Amino acid sequence: MGTRTVDEIRVDLAANRAKLADATSEAVESMKPKNIAKESAEQVKQFAKTEFDHATSQFKDDTGAWRRDRLLMIGGAVLGAVVFFVAVSQVAGRRTLATQARRALEK
């Protein structure tokens, strides 16, 4: 290894200072709450997209077309749940009406 001149050392020091200044500036920018929130939002969006793609892949075949049999099965389950809850609320509502009518007649 040869000897370096003072000017070469100064040039190296200036380059290292510039690199250090850039790294420090980047670190300060990355620690700002606005930038942290922005990065977190991007990560959440990416996670949601990945999970959505994974969930929808369960309802698509190898060609990417929707599998109607699975969609109909899910639709039927949702429809069944809605009908069940409507029926339960109707029965509960009738009991309430009957109770109110009975109380009104008792007065």
H helix runs in 4-67, sequence order: 6-30, 33-57
Using DSSP's 3-state secondary structure scheme, residue 60 falls into strand
The 10s digit of each residue's pLDDT in 4-61 is 899 999 999 999 999 999 999 999 998 999 989 999 999 999 999 999 988 888 888 8
The 10s digit of each residue's pLDDT in 57-95 is 888 888 888 888 888 999 999 999 999 998 888 877 676
**What span, in angstroms and rounded, lies between the C-alpha atoms of 38 and 32?**
10
AA identity, residue 58:
Q
Is pTM beyond 0.75? Reply is no
Which residues contact residue 4 at a Cβ distance below 8 angstroms, ignoring those fewer than 6 apart? 12
Using DSSP's 3-state secondary structure scheme, residue 95 falls into helix
Which residue ranges make up each domain of the chain?
1-57, 62-107
Residue 28: left if φ>0, alpha if ψ -120 to 50, beta else—which one? alpha
**End-to-end CA, the chain:** 110
Token pair recorded at residue 65? 């077309």
